[in-house]
Amino acid sequence: MNAPSAETKKREICRLMAQANTWEAETEALFDQIGLLPGWRCIDLGCGPVGVLSHLSQRVGAHGQVIGFDEDPDCISAAESLIERKNLSIVEIIKGNLFDNSLKRDAFDLCHLRFVFNQEGCDQELLQNMVKLTRPGGIVVSQESDWTTWKCYPRQPSWSKLRDAMITLFKQSGGDINAGLRTFKMFHQAHLTDIKVRSAILTMPVGHPYRSGLIRFALTMRERILAAGILTESAFDQHIEACQQMIKDPSIIIFSYTLTQVWGLVRS
């Protein structure tokens, strides 16, 4: 497969930024329930361009520390711009691979990961790495999606076709975009304790900034969907066009995917 074009990479960064904004209130609700404390040392693994860096930074305050960890140079430079723009002086970005275990064990009070368990090979081994990074009694946090709820009413065939094409693409590449269904069980299998879960679905009327989220996501995956033969070029473009018309229709309601948030304590 060819490397993604510069345009596709730019779209992906914008998509991740829009997605992070969309889930801001739910991230706050999650961290309220967890009860983060000032002075904590936290890490956001696979932080992307935004992740939850600002939320963590605000909560742990001037005596805390936040690390954003990612391997992608474009995400890292976007995250560094965010740090500068928002003056997040306690946040540092480290470039690295989630599986190379170069970070210190037991170093963090809280280890967070969002929208990464959906990728190929990201399962118990990655969760074990999160556990290793977290001190005994510290908190491991996951936020993942379940796309089966990402739908509209009345049902629109093009919407379902695009969504299902992306679910298929994730499956074909060994990933699972519905990883949010599995994380609660994974936390139990990893012997975390005091495991909690909450979930959220948004309703997105005309004007909601994430109403076009599915279209944006599909456009970042266009080259891969076509290369995998999941949709033809003309079918893909037709579905995009139909969805772009559809989201302008105020009588059509769109529901988001489910965001599943799970957290648990590392045994002392």
Ligand X SMILES: C[S@@+](CC[C@H](N)C(=O)[O-])C[C@H]1O[C@@H](n2cnc3c(N)ncnc32)[C@H](O)[C@@H]1O
In the complex, least distance from residue 246 CB atom to ligand X, rounded to whole angstroms: 25
Phi, psi values for residue 220, rounded to 5°: -70, -20
In the complex, least distance from residue 22 CB atom to ligand X, rounded to whole angstroms: 10
Question: 176-195: which residues touch ligand X (CB under 6 A)?
Answer: none
Stretch that binds ligand X, among 57-65, 81-89, 95-103, 252-260 (CB under 6 A): 95-103
Query: ω into residue 154 within 30 of 0, thus cis?
Result: yes
Half-sphere exposure of 98 (CA within 13 A, CB side): 28
In the complex, least distance from residue 148 CB atom to ligand X, rounded to whole angstroms: 18
Task: Say whether residue 257 binds ligand X (CB under 6 A).
Answer: no
Task: Say whether residue 97 binds ligand X (CB under 6 A).
Answer: yes
**Pattern 41-80, binding to ligand X, x per CB under 6 A?**
-----xxx-xx------------------xxx--x-----
Stretch that binds ligand X, among 13-21, 59-67, 183-191, 249-257 (CB under 6 A): 13-21
Stretch that binds ligand X, among 92-100, 155-163, 167-175, 231-239 (CB under 6 A): 92-100
Task: Say whether residue 123 binds ligand X (CB under 6 A).
Answer: no
Select 103 or 158, whichever has its Cβ closest to ligand X.
103
Residues lying near ligand X in the complex (CB under 6 A): 16, 19-20, 46-48, 50-51, 70-72, 75, 97-99, 114-116, 119
